[in-house]
Chains A and B, each alone.
Chain A
Amino acid sequence: MASAFDDVLDGIKDESVKAAKDQLQSLLQQARADSSAFAQKNAAALEEWIVELSNGDLNQKEFNELVDAQRAAAEQFVNTQAIAGQARARELTLTVLDIAVKKVVPVLIAAI
């Protein structure tokens, strides 16, 4: 069954934006299927805003402002992913050294 979002896109008959329309639908489909809750939530929000824009619940200025806000949140997400990567790398290097030196090696030396 077509969603309200699909109906809105299907209503756009201008051939000059067909490629962009197809690309948007494909990317949103991928985002909806993505394992990241962040990507799924953003895709759902964007679809909702497009429907609301088409029925007048949002105007273009409001829509653009929401897109800007989502872009900022996405940049924040990328920044946080970098912190997560760094934290993981720290765990695999500094923490592993700490455990070896402070916990395992003393017991090993005591047993020699």
Chain B
Amino acid sequence: MNAPARRSSRNVIHPVVLALGAALLLAGCGTTKDAKSRDDIASLKTTHLAFIDEFTEGAGKTWDDQQLTPRTAAVELQFTNAEQYEATKKKDARRSAAISNLHSQFKKNVKSLESGKAFYRPTFAARLKDQVAQNYDQALRGEDLR
């Protein structure tokens, strides 16, 4: 008579075991805080927004292809350094995705300047900066939530 009851109780996973399993799973996901990663993203935000400002129409500015190349290289180096730092430690797929997204956004901005061979117009630049800032703010929020 007791056998079925015993078998059914054996099949139920104890909540503590479930919690431990979930804890182990989460521990393996590796979304941990890292002050340097956060600083890298914050610094990239400042640099990226300044880059947009630098390549926006303004009094006395004249377009020069030679100016874009070194400025792009400097920002690219900053992205590379941030990505290399991430590669030196435990893989965090969410953080890598966040930085990759920001880097891709920067590359698109450069490509647009290269193809247009002209400064951004002020209205567009203001709207673009809003979107780029929003993207960085989300990435920084992700750092703060960890």
Contacts and interface: CB of A to CB of B under 8 A. Distances in A.
Binding site secondary structure of chain A: helix
Interface stretch (A3-11, A15-23, A69-77, A104-112): A69-77
A93 to B, nearest CB: 4
A68 B108 contact: yes
A83 B96 CA distance: 12
A87 B26 CA distance: 9
B121 interface: yes
Contact of A83 (B20, B116, B145): B145
Nearest to B111: A65
A55 B57 CA distance: 20
Contact of A66 (B23, B26, B116, B128): B128
A86 interface: yes
Given A79-B142, A80-B142, A86-B29, A69 B128 contact: yes
A94 interface: yes
Interface stretch (B1-9, B64-72, B79-87, B97-105): B97-105
Given A79-B101, A93-B19, A66 B127 contact: yes
B139 interface: yes
Given A80-B145, A86-B29, A65 B108 contact: yes
Contacts of B131: 45, 66, 69-70, 72-73
Contacts of B138: 38, 73, 76-77, 79-80
A24 interface: no
Interface in A14-65: 38, 41, 45, 48-49, 52, 57-58, 61-62, 65
B26 A93 contact: yes
Given A66-B127, A69-B131, 16 more contacts: A38-B134, A45-B127, A45-B131, A49-B127, A58-B123, A62-B124, A62-B127, A69-B105, A72-B101, A76-B135, A84-B145, A86-B94, A87-B31, A94-B27, A96-B19, A97-B20
Interface of B: 19-20, 22-23, 26-27, 29, 31, 94, 97-98, 101-102, 104-105, 108, 112, 116, 121, 123-124, 127-128, 130-132, 134-135, 138-139, 141-142, 145-146
